[in-house]
Structure 1
């Protein structure tokens, strides 16, 4: 059955996009013998093998092999090819050309990458027509002539007779829009993945989405993507091999002049000449210039940067790929998921805040031979021209028709999610034809990839990035749906693992009457005894209860530890209504526990919920509706419960199988609650 589907998809692709597709195993076979980028190979295969007639394919493959063996310059055969040019007077080569201006002679000079000849004069017409010759170079089919003149010293005897970049001259987008209607969503995703050489039938759904996400920078202007993961998962493949419009900077140093703008030559750098600038091995990124990271931040935020008196705009997307050398679980416990970045960036939350998406490379399996397709896909050049033309369009307002974004998304989050949605629509539904359900699938993916960034920012930047509970609201039913990040402890509000000192969860009645989860985050910093609280909105009762907690803390801190100081520290507290049901006033006891935990720099037990409240004098109040409150605790992900002794009489109202889900500790006083919360009996 599977084979019949492949045959029909291959036939459909050949019928709909005749002459635009190629069998990808041909690329693989020839690629092994010639170290040329895929788009160079497929440019030739598209000329000679764009058919499903097996005999003609074999004939075409032979022609391509002959062209490559005769004209493609292998570095170890450079001298042989140079000799051929000299003996024949003119010879056609396939090589990568880079051009520089020799201002002393006032001529443009080309350098052949594999052939190894420099200083070859090239007409300014070519340079004006193909600007990328000046930035990173282009693969070309070039007729090279040879003429040696004894009179003319210090100049190359090689000349460029004619030059043709290996790129498709034009593309009709309507051909793709109309052709897309012939395929289902899954078929079209299969076509896209096969076009980059992958075999979708061997991949899980989530992996297919991650591979599509790698392509977003190619279709979306000024899109910033990060992917870190194990080695061998093809992180840089798309940017190096598939598109002639992207450039991969392999580790090491770079300069502001090279990347952004050269003040002396008044020429824009790589970001102005390429659609995607990808950094391989982020750990090695260094700028010779002190302001390099700052200019990069400006550009990533706005698509513009200032150099001298000028403000320059460019539309390149920035991609950061690199390796995570330890397990994600370990990294999350000891550090954060941006840890492999160099020190200049590793704790710069403003830099990472500009990332629109983080693709979890650890969810993509290491490539095996059966992951590479042998079916038909678009010629890489056709694919990259389609991607390039889609950059002129935008679907960033697509979600507005059906959904609103939740209150935890700030302006940067909203821009990031909209850009990801726009990019995925351009890839999967380029003609803009999709259903609400199909759009929702894309929106959920976009929210997760941005939330992954925000969760790490919260680890790096603390209070500033507390709002990570991303959601979207259906406009027709007003139903709110939350998304979770798999590696952050699933979809539970209370994550697994040790929390930070000063962080406490409680479950209580909100001012809407509903019962919900609240998180108190406390930071203790050197200062003069100030107490600041945020997140309470206009709820006066809640503000009074938090002030009560701080006053009780000041008066009774010596009962907890003689080392706690309120004179030499400032206390910053943020209260978060995690389920959006309205603020609760019942926060005094939990806030007191959080202040003690923060002051002692000792976290409370993992997955603990502190229940109950207290009065200004320290009298403990029991928990109302205990059974319902415990059900909410369980749904939120709690494993341990701290309960006032006064609530012991209500345990009979709780279903035994629910009560058995928790490790319960009872406390009799606020101080008792603090010690038990920290696991000190």
Structure 2
């Protein structure tokens, strides 16, 4: 067990579960993760292997005996009849039979309807009336000769969610983790292995939680298929509901004027719309108008009466085109249905998660470590809805006065949500607050930048903030940095003008110097002038390869020395091999180049490490690369750089390890085949002329 997992189990004893157990017990049961983790939390909330094994068997037995599979519903009904009573795990919904003035329950999988339920239970659990709730229920059978009478009797019903919650204990426990540890705890609680995510990608995952802890937060995520966009809203919390975008109606979402029955926003903390994108989808214009008013004012009308609600909204859908295509030909809202492609509706969105930055989920990305029982974390987030952290940056930073009230409110909501999730106990440092503020502003800027392209009446806004001494820092989106030739143009301008590819150089506004200079993509590296300069690349940026980053500086070199203490594992040796491929492309076929590697021998897998190098040595000899390697034994070798006999030193803070993890065995993945399609880790590189 890792140190972090051990710490989680010690500090949050009884409130965490090993995340791979969900798959172990799920089998073919079609139930949300929070239902399974509720059961696992009862029997497996420990790190004792024997207790876990015993608990798994208990949970499996409970599911086998009490979970209702639709194809076995007849057998369960028969069991109830023969035994007189049986406990079931099923999703139930309740409706009012106004003719008889009674509440009636319908069991989704069991297939029985019109089961009477007392009004006290309905008042205690009003979500039974809207959307349905997973429960553990005792159902009895008592046949009667009365016409229209149901033989089914509901003895007891218990919604599957926590019965108690100690917030003070949660705050005290949070203070025992530093920020990096806490972020990893939360990522593991969602179900992912944090080792496969960079800092920015982890924050993307955590933004998906904000609708559960921030009232009336409007979030949109558009991106490729398979990135887990809907997972949190369908599996994570009993306080959120996921519905298909095509199933939305005014009565279902807001209020039925004929019956007076409140819709989903009146009962759920988060309403998520799946499959929201699709240009050809038919959408009710009246629905869009009511949604616009609700998203802006937190209210909607029922005839002459105004009603309020605090449900957050999350809109998730698939994009149809790549980012540069959308920026060149339309905008990043291109995939939305026509009725929602409305600047007034889009302006009410607080944050746009760039789904194209989120990795397609692979099997190895799921966690086998410990995380919160999701029902516990769901209760924490719900409790945090009552708090406001939106001004916690004001001690250190000030947002530009040019930003409108609506933009400022959006930034505040995102900032408040992330602060609640990451620092519920307070105590964030200035640097930590700056990171969260900048990230919050970026998400709103992505919305505003696209509105500027869609509707020319929107004024261009200076998204920036300043620190205590007045030093201003601009905020940019990653797509703005990566595709500047398309970004700040209207569609007509981009289409009509043949724009050259951008150069790779720091983005520096002459009017104000940013706190961090950021490098952007360059395709025409072969023609660039070799010069001394320093570049900073941001996490999730793409378009960079060894060829275009290092190639020009390696051209013509006869001796190249690579110093990197971390060429030990397979993927690191693969990086080395790819750098050698770049050197091959830069040399004449008849020339020979000596490449020397200085690294550190792996303490446990030194033999395998040597085997990698000897294979590289053998394959390189045939193409005129004389590769040799040596191990630094001083124990003080931390430098990472490439030095050529032509007088260039390339200093790398990460060495060759500049790419995020990808599946090296998937030969059909572009990330595997072409470096420019791999998302980057954040890194810096300095080119120095040492002659």
With normalisation by structure 2, the TM-score equals 0.71
Q: Is the 2:194–2:202 contact (alpha carbons within 8 Å) kept by the matching residues of 1? A: yes
- Structure-2 residue corresponding to 1:373: 367
2:455 aligns to what SS in structure 1?
helix
Cα distance change of structure 1 residues 287 and 638 upon mapping to structure 2, 3 Å threshold = closer
1:176 aligns to what SS in structure 2?
helix
Per-residue deviation, 1:273: 0.2
2:20 aligns to what SS in structure 1?
helix
Q: Is the 2:300–2:307 contact (alpha carbons within 8 Å) kept by the matching residues of 1? A: yes
Q: Is the 1:255–1:288 contact (alpha carbons within 8 Å) kept by the matching residues of 2? A: no
- The alignment status of 1:423 with 2:417, answered yes or no, reads yes
- Structure-1 residue corresponding to 2:314: 319
Counting only pairs closer than 5 Å after superposition, residues 178-577 of structure 1 correspond to structure 2 as 178-283=172-277, 289-346=284-341, 348-467=342-461, 469-474=462-467, 476-490=468-482, 495-496=485-486, 499-500=489-490
Looking at structure 2, the residues matched to 501 and 243 of structure 1 have their Cα atoms a distance apart, in angstroms, of: 41
Per-residue deviation, 1:433: 1.9
For 1:31, which of 26, 29, 40 is the aligned residue? 26
Per-residue deviation, 1:32: 3.5
Per-residue deviation, 1:395: 0.3
Q: Is the 1:255–1:287 contact (alpha carbons within 8 Å) kept by the matching residues of 2? A: no
Counting only pairs closer than 5 Å after superposition, residues 79-158 of structure 1 correspond to structure 2 as 79-150=74-145, 152-158=146-152
Per-residue deviation, 1:169: 1.3
TM-superposition CA deviations, 1:87-145 (whole Å, max 9, x none): 00100000001001111111111111111111111111111110000001110000000
Quick check: which has more Rg, 1 or 2?
1
Counting only pairs closer than 5 Å after superposition, residues 586-665 of structure 1 correspond to structure 2 as 606=499
Cα distance change of structure 1 residues 236 and 445 upon mapping to structure 2, 3 Å threshold = same
Q: Any gaps of 5 or more consecutive residues in structure 2?
A: 503-508, 523-528, 533-691
For 1:166, which of 126, 139, 160 is the aligned residue? 160
Per-residue deviation, 1:253: 3.1
1:399 aligns to what SS in structure 2?
coil
Looking at structure 1, the residues matched to 469 and 333 of structure 2 have their Cα atoms a distance apart, in angstroms, of: 38
Cα distance change of structure 1 residues 638 and 315 upon mapping to structure 2, 3 Å threshold = closer
Q: Is the 2:389–2:420 contact (alpha carbons within 8 Å) kept by the matching residues of 1? A: yes
TM-superposition CA deviations, 1:24-58 (whole Å, max 9, x none): 11112112332211111111111111111111111
2:94 aligns to what SS in structure 1?
strand
Cα distance change of structure 1 residues 184 and 313 upon mapping to structure 2, 3 Å threshold = same
**Aligned pairs, number:** 516
Q: Is the 1:607–1:637 contact (alpha carbons within 8 Å) kept by the matching residues of 2? A: no
Q: Is the 2:277–2:336 contact (alpha carbons within 8 Å) kept by the matching residues of 1? A: yes
1:426 aligns to what SS in structure 2?
helix
2:458 aligns to what SS in structure 1?
helix
With normalisation by structure 1, the TM-score equals 0.72
Q: Is the 2:333–2:450 contact (alpha carbons within 8 Å) kept by the matching residues of 1? A: yes
Looking at structure 1, the residues matched to 238 and 163 of structure 2 have their Cα atoms a distance apart, in angstroms, of: 13
Cα-Cα RMSD: 2.8
Q: Is the 1:217–1:318 contact (alpha carbons within 8 Å) kept by the matching residues of 2? A: yes
For 1:49, which of 44, 51, 65 is the aligned residue? 44
Cα distance change of structure 1 residues 224 and 101 upon mapping to structure 2, 3 Å threshold = same
Cα distance change of structure 1 residues 330 and 71 upon mapping to structure 2, 3 Å threshold = same
Looking at structure 1, the residues matched to 276 and 90 of structure 2 have their Cα atoms a distance apart, in angstroms, of: 29
Looking at structure 2, the residues matched to 399 and 321 of structure 1 have their Cα atoms a distance apart, in angstroms, of: 29
2:469 aligns to what SS in structure 1?
coil
Per-residue deviation, 1:220: 0.6
Q: Is the 2:329–2:491 contact (alpha carbons within 8 Å) kept by the matching residues of 1? A: no
1:47 aligns to what SS in structure 2?
helix
